[in-house]
Amino acid sequence: MFVDKNLGTTKQKQQKIDIGELEQVQKKKVKQNANINPYTGNQYSGDYYKILAVRKQLPAWDAKEQLFMLMEQYQVIVLQGETGSGKTTQIPQFLLEKYSKGRGIACTQPRRVAAMSVAKRVAEEMDVALGEEVGYSIRFEEKTSNKTILKYMTDGMLLREAMHDPKLERYSVVILDEAHERTLNTDILFGLLKEIMLKRPEDLKVVIMSATMDAEKFQKYFHNAPLLDIPGRVYPVEIFYTQKPEKSYLDAAISTTINIHAYEDPGDILVFLTGEEEIEEACKKITSEIQKLGDDVGPVRCVPLYSTLPPNQQQKIFESAPQPNKKGVQGRKIVVATNIAETSITIDGICYVVDPGFSKQKVYNPRLRVESLLASPISKASAQQRAGRAGRTRPGKCYRLYTEQSFNSELIDNTYPEILRSNLSSVVLQLKRLGIDDLVHFDFMDPPAPETLMRALEQLYYLGALDEEGNLTKFGQQMSEFPLDPQLSKVLLSSKDFYVTDEILTIVALLSVQQVFQRPKDQQQQADDARYQFVHQDGDHITFLNVFKSFKEHNESSDWCYQNFINYRSLKSADKIKAQLRQIMQKQQIPLTKTDPSNALYYTYIKKALIAGMFMQTAHLTKNGAYMTVKDSQIVAIHPCSVLNHKPEWILYQEFVLTSKNYLRTVTDIEGKWLYEMCPEYFNPKTIKNIETRKEFEKIERQVLEEQRRKPDLLTVEQIQRLHKDVKSERTQSISSSKSIQK
C-alpha cells in the first residue's frame, strides 16, 4: 500500500497498525494453508507452482538469506549481478516479505518497456493481476491501484514523484536497478536518496543493483555499503582481437562477418556499428558479397536495427535464419545494429558478435552551449556488455576489431556518465525544485564541470526561473512542472500572454518528438513535393503547426500520413504529449487563450511566444551573407532540411548541430526589434560582441526609445490586449514583469 502523504499522522499510524495486524492474520493463514496466496487470500493457481520451481533455480535464490542479513544491518546495500541472475524479478519479491509494512517498494528501470515487461512477469510469478499488488508507472501509463505494494517504474517517474513527495514517504524500499547505466535520472536519484536516507534512518532502505562493473564506486559513494554478489547464468564467450589496428572499422566489420559466415559453425551474428547510414551500407555489402560466394556457403538474412526504424521492420530481427540452400548448407541471420542492441533490445540465438569498438555518443560543449553526436571509442564495460550478447543461449565468440593492447591501454573503464555529457539546465531546475539550493556542494557521484553548472544557472536566470540569488522563483516552480526543456516551458507559459496557447502547445509537443517528416532514400523528390503543401514561409515552427492541423483535419489517418510522408507515430505521440502539457497548464490555472487565425497578427503572436523562451537561440545575417549567433558570435548556416528558402535578417533556431559545419535546425524568421523589445537587458547593445549586430541593436534601441517617447504607454503585450477586448483582461505576473523590464 502506498501511503498517501496527505493523510493526517493519526490516520497514517492507524492505517499502519491495521496493515500490521492484517499481516499477522495473513501469516497465520499461511501457516494453516500453504496453498493460499498471502497477498490476495486466493488459492494459488497451478501455474504458480510451476513458475516457482523455475524461480528457485535462479542464482538470486541462493542469496536470499544473505540479502536479509545485510538489509537488517545496513540502510543501503549494493547488489551486483549479471544477466540471468534473476535480480530484477526476484530481489523485489524477497523484500516484499519483510519490508512492505504500510509502505510500498519501488524498483526503477531506465527504460519504459523494461518497467512494463518486468512488472508483467513478476505479477505472474506472484499469481496476482497486473496493476493490483504489482504494477508499473511510466509516462502516459499508470498501472497501479491502492493495493499496489510493488511498483516498477522509470527512473524519471520516481524523480517526478519526488517533486511532490520530497522524502519519498510512500516507499519503505527504493531499488535503483541498472545503476551501472548511469542515466541522468539515476544519477540525480543517487544524490537525492543519499539525502533522504539521512532524514529517514529508520524506515527507508535502499538497494543499488548493477551489472558487474562499478560496484566498488557505488559502495564507496554510499558510505562503504556492503556488496552482495550474485553470480550470473551466462555461457563463456571466447574473445578474439586483431593483430594490428584496422584502417577502416567498417570494412573490417564487413569482412569479418563474411569470414564468420563462411568458416564458422551455425549460429547468428550480431554486428555493432554506429549509425543508420553505416548500417544500411554494411547490410547491402554483406548480402551482395555473400551472394558472390555461391552455394558453398549458406544463405543469409541480413537485417538492420536502429531506433528510428519503423517497428514492423524492427520486428524482422526476430525472424529465424533462412532455410538451408539446395546443397544443404545451413542459413544464418546477421543483425547489424547500433548500440540499441547493447542494452535495449535482446536477440536470442546470437553466437557471434563483431565489435569494431565505436559508438555515437553525446558530447556537450558548455562554452558553445552545443550538444553534438560524435562517433567515439567505447569503454571496456561497453565492450564487455557487447561480448556478453554472444553467450545468452550457448557458448559464443566475440571478434574485437582492435588489438588487445588498445583494449587494455586505450579504452576507458566506463563510459562517462550522461551527467558529464549534457546540458544541465533541466537538471538544475529539477534540483532547485527538489529543494537543493547549494548545487556546488550537492553530492554528485561524478560532479559536472563547474562551467556546465554555471551555464545552466545563467540560462535559468535569463528565463526568469531563478532570481539574482539563484533561488527558484514562482515562475521557475511553474516551469519545473512541465516535462520539457526549460526554454520550451517558458515558451509554453508565455503563450497565454500572446493568445496562442493551443498553437504553442502543438508546436512544443512536435518539438518534443523526433522526425515529423519522412524522407526515404528512394523517394526523396516525392517526399519534398508532399512537404511543400505544408510549408509556411515564416519557417519550420509554423510549418509543423500546419502539418498538425492537417493531420487533425484528416482524422489522424495513418494512410494520409503515409501518402504525405509524415511520420504517423511521431504525430500520434505529439498528440499525447500535447494533451499532457495542456493538462499541466490547466492544473496550474494558466488560462488557455486564443486568437482568430484570420487576425493579421496571428503569426506574429506565435513567433513572439517562441521568442519569449528561445531568445537565447537567435542568429543575425551579416553583410557577407553568413549567419552569426547573436550572443556567442558563432558562424552558422541554416540546415538544408529547413523549409526557409529565403534569408531573413534575424532567425530563431531550435537546435544547433555540429556535423560538417555548424548548422541550425528548425528555424523561424523573426524581427530584431522584437528581440530587443522583449528582452532589452539580454540584447543590450553593449553586450553584443559582433560589431554589425551591435550596430543593428543600437539602431533598434534608438528607434524603440523614440517610439516610447511619442507613445509612452505603448507596450507590446498591451497592444495585443487591446486587440482582445473580448477576452477578459487578466494582469498576470509575466505581463507586469515584462512591462517593468521595458521601462
Partner DNA sequence: GAGCACTGC
Q: Using CB under 7 A as the criterion, which residues of the chain lie in contact with DNA when the complex forms?
A: 110-113, 138-139, 154, 156-157, 160, 183-185, 274-277, 306-308, 338-340, 344, 359-362, 373, 426, 483-484, 512, 514-515, 519, 524, 528, 639-641, 657, 659-661, 663, 665
Q: Which of 331/388 has CB closer to DNA?
A: 388
Instruction: Report in angstroms how near the CB of residue 156 gets to DNA at its nearest.
Output: 3
Which helix (H) or strand (E) element contains residue 363?
strand 358-365
- Tell me how far, at minimum, the Cβ of 142 lies from DNA, in Å: 10
* CB of 515 vs DNA, minimal distance in Å: 6
Phi-psi region of 223 (alpha: psi -120 to 50; beta: other; left: phi over 0): left
Residue 375 CB coordination number (10 Å): 13
Shortest distance, position 505 Cβ to DNA, whole Å: 15
Q: Which of 229, 214, 299 is nearest to 82 (CA)?
A: 229
Kindly tell me which of 141 and 437 has the beta carbon lying closer to DNA. Answer: 141
Q: Least distance in Å: CB of 160 to DNA?
A: 4
In one-letter notation, the amino acid at residue 155 is D
Our CB check for DNA shows the closer of 340 and 723 to be 340
Rank residues 200 and 665 by Cβ distance to DNA and give the closer one.
Answer: 665
Produce one character per residue of 224-243: b if its CB has 16 or more CB atoms within 10 Å, e if not.
ebbebebebebeebebeeee
Q: Answer whether 342's CB lies under 8 Å from 381's CB.
A: no
Sequence-distant (≥ 6) Cβ neighbours of residue 474 within 8 angstroms: 733
Residue 655 beta carbon to DNA: minimum distance, rounded to whole angstroms: 8
Give 182 or 673: the residue with its C-beta nearer to DNA: 182
Shortest Å distance, C-beta 589 to DNA? 20
Give Cα 309 to chain centroid, integer Å. 18
Shortest distance (Å) from residue 677 CB to DNA: 30
Q: What angle separates helix 501-511 from helix 540-553, to the nearest 10 degrees?
A: 100
* Residue (339 or 734) nearer to DNA, CB: 339
Cell, residue 578 = 500535447
Q: Report which of 603, 593, 723, 590 is spatially closest to residue 671, judged by C-alpha positions.
A: 603
User: Is residue 703 a contact partner of residue 637, using CB atoms and an 8 Å limit?
Assistant: no
Instruction: Decide if 95 contacts 173 (C-beta within 8 A).
Output: yes
Tell me whether residue 361 or residue 495 sits nearer to DNA (CB atom). 361
Decide whether 243 or 660 has the Cβ nearer to DNA: 660
CA 388/CA 103 separation, integer angstroms? 37
State the SS3 of 403-426: CHHHHHHCCCCCCCCHHHCCCCHH
Of 164 and 441, the one with the shorter C-beta distance to DNA is 164
CB of 492 to DNA, least distance (A): 13
Angle 646-652-657 (CA atoms, 0-180°, nearest 5)? 90
CB of 455 to DNA, least distance (A): 17
Residue 493 burial by CB count (10 A; 0-12/13-18/19+): exposed, middle or buried?
Answer: buried
| Rounded CA separation 456/428 (Å) | 7
**148's grid cell:** 499496489
Closest approach of DNA to the CB of residue 521, in Å: 7
CB 144 within 8 A of CB 137: yes
Q: Which long-range contacts does 200-204 make (Cβ < 8 Å, 24+ apart)?
A: 200/167, 200/169, 201/75, 203/103, 203/172, 204/75, 204/168, 204/171, 204/172, 204/173, 204/174
Q: Which is nearer to DNA, 50 or 661 (CB)?
A: 661
Distance in Å, CB of 105 to DNA, minimum: 18
The nearest distance, CB 284 to DNA, in angstroms, is 16
Tell me the CA end-to-end span of the chain in Å, nearest whole number: 55
R_g over Cα of the chain: 29
In the complex, the smallest distance separating the C-beta of residue 659 from DNA, rounded to whole angstroms, is 2
Q: Which helix (H) or strand (E) holds 696?
A: helix 691-710
Q: State the Cα–Cα distance between residues 79 and 139, nearest whole angstrom.
A: 27
Residue 221 or 663 having the CB closest to DNA: 663
345/454 with CB nearer DNA: 345
Per the DSSP assignment, residues forming a β-bridge with 206 are 76, 174
Instruction: Characterize the bridge pairing of strands 76-81 and 237-241.
Output: unpaired
Closer CB to DNA, 660 or 740, in the complex: 660
In the complex with DNA, which residue's Cβ is closer, 224 or 514? 514
- State the nearest-atom distance from the C-beta of 140 to DNA, in Å: 7
Q: How far is CA 483 from CA 104, 427, 545, 580, 614, in A?
A: 25, 11, 20, 9, 17
Nearest to 4 by CA among 169, 126, 148: 169
Query: With contact defined as beta carbons under 8 Å apart, do 423 and 395 qualify?
Result: no
* Smallest distance, DNA to C-beta of residue 322, A: 25
Burial of 256 (0-12, 13-18, 19+ CB in 10 A): buried
User: Which amino acid does the sequence have at 309?
Assistant: L
Q: In angstroms, give the least distance from the CB of 153 to DNA.
A: 8
Nearer to DNA, 306 or 615 (CB): 306
Shortest Å distance, C-beta 581 to DNA: 11
CB nearer to DNA: pick between 343 and 721: 343
Among the listed residues 219, 42, 205, the one whose alpha carbon sits nearest the alpha carbon of residue 132: 42
Q: Decide whether 584 or 601 has the Cβ nearer to DNA.
A: 584
CB 377 within 8 A of CB 410: yes
CB closer to DNA out of 237 and 638: 638
